[in-house]
Amino acid sequence: MLLAATAILVGFVVLIWSADLFVAGAASIAENMGLSPVIIGLTIVSIGTSAPEILVSITATLSGAGELAIGNAIGSNIANIGLVLGTTVLVAPMCVHPSCIRKELPALLVVTAGTGLLILDGELSRLDGGLMMAALAFILYQVVRNQDEGASLLEEAGGDDVLPHLNPLRAWLTFALGMIMLIASSRALVWGATEVALFMGVSQLVIGLTIVAIGTSLPELAATIASALRGHTEIAVGNVIGSNLFNLLAVMSIPGLIQPELLDAQVLPRDYATMSAMTAMLALAIYLGRLRKRAPAGHSYIGRSAGVLFVAIYALYYYWLYQTR
C-alpha cells in the first residue's frame, strides 16, 4: 500500500512536470516549422495541457483498467466545475467573454449531450470512440479556421506565460524527454491507483473518479486561481470549458478506440448525470450572469454565490459516491 501510494504521488509530480516539457518541446518544434503562435496556442498547447489525462487513459486501457480511464474523464470534468471553477469563483468573481458564451459553451453542452447518447446503451464502443474523436477534430478545425478571433481573445487576456523558444535540437530533445517521462509516470500512476483500488476493495472506476481525477485537476486549479488573481478571469473560465471538451472527446474516447468497454451500472445514473447537471448549471449561471449589472457589455458575470453552489454540489457528489461505492 505504501509503495502504491508513493507511485501515485511520484507519478502525479512527474506527470505534470513532463507535460510542461512536452508542451514546450512540441510548441518550439511547431514554431521552428513556421506555424503561427496563435495556431500553436490554440491546438498544440491546448492538447498538451490535457496530455496527463490522455496518457493516463491510454496506459489504463492498455493495462486492462478501462474503468479507471472513464472515471478519470468524468471525474475530472466534475472536479473542473465543482472544485476548480467553484473554488476560483470564491476567490475572485469572474467575467466570461462573449466568444465563450456564443461558441465554447454551446459546444460543451452539445458534446455532453451527444456523448451521453452514445453511451446510453451501457457500452463505449469503437464506433463511439471514433465519433468522439471526429467531433474533436472538427472543433479543432473550427478553432484554427477562426484563429483571428482566438488571437484577439488571447491578447485581451494578456497571458503572462510565454513559451520558451528552443533551437531545433533542444526542442526535439525536450519533446522526447517529455514524452518518455509522460509514459513512465502515467504507468506508475495507473499501477499505484490499481493497487490502491484492490487494497481498499473499491472499483477502478471510483479510484478514477476520485484520486486520479483530483490529481490531474490540481494543476488546473492552481493555474485557474492564478489567472483569476491576475485579473485574467475570462481565460480562466475558457480553460475549464476547453478542458472539459478535451476530457470528453479525447480522454474518454480512448478506451473505446483501443478496446470496447462495458460501463459500470453507476456511470450513467450517478457519475455522468452529475457531470451533465453541473455542466447545465454552469451554462445557466453564465447565461443569467449576462443580466447582472456588474457584467460588461456582452459579457457574463459569475459571482461568489455560484461558487458556493458548485463547491456544495461537488461535496454532495462525493458523499453520494461514498454511499454507493
**Domains within the chain, CATH numbers bracketed:** 2-324 (1.20.1420.30)
- Whether 235 has a pLDDT exceeding 70, the answer reads no
pLDDT band for position 134 (50/70/90)? very high
Between 48 and 248, the more confident residue is: 248
Q: Spell out the long-range contacts of 164-171 with Cβ–Cβ below 8 A and sequence spacing 24 or more.
A: 164/24, 164/28, 165/28, 165/31, 166/24, 166/25, 166/28, 167/32, 168/29, 168/32, 170/28, 171/25, 171/28, 171/29, 171/32
Between 105 and 276, the more confident residue is: 276
Amino acid 7: pLDDT: 82
Amino acid 292: pLDDT: 78
Q: Give the whole-angstrom CA distance, residue 316 versus residue 325.
A: 14
- Whether 107 has a pLDDT exceeding 80, the answer reads yes
Amino acid 274: pLDDT: 96
Residue 17 φ/ψ region, left for φ over 0, alpha for ψ in the -120 to 50 degree band, beta for the rest: alpha
pTM confidence score: 0.81
Q: Give the whole-angstrom CA distance, residue 234 versus residue 106.
A: 16
**Lowest mean pLDDT, pick from 31-45, 47-61, 208-222:** 31-45
- Whether 192 has a pLDDT exceeding 50, the answer reads yes
Express each pLDDT in 50-102 by its tens digit.
677 788 888 888 888 888 889 989 999 999 999 989 988 998 888 887 877 88
CB 80 within 8 A of CB 89: no
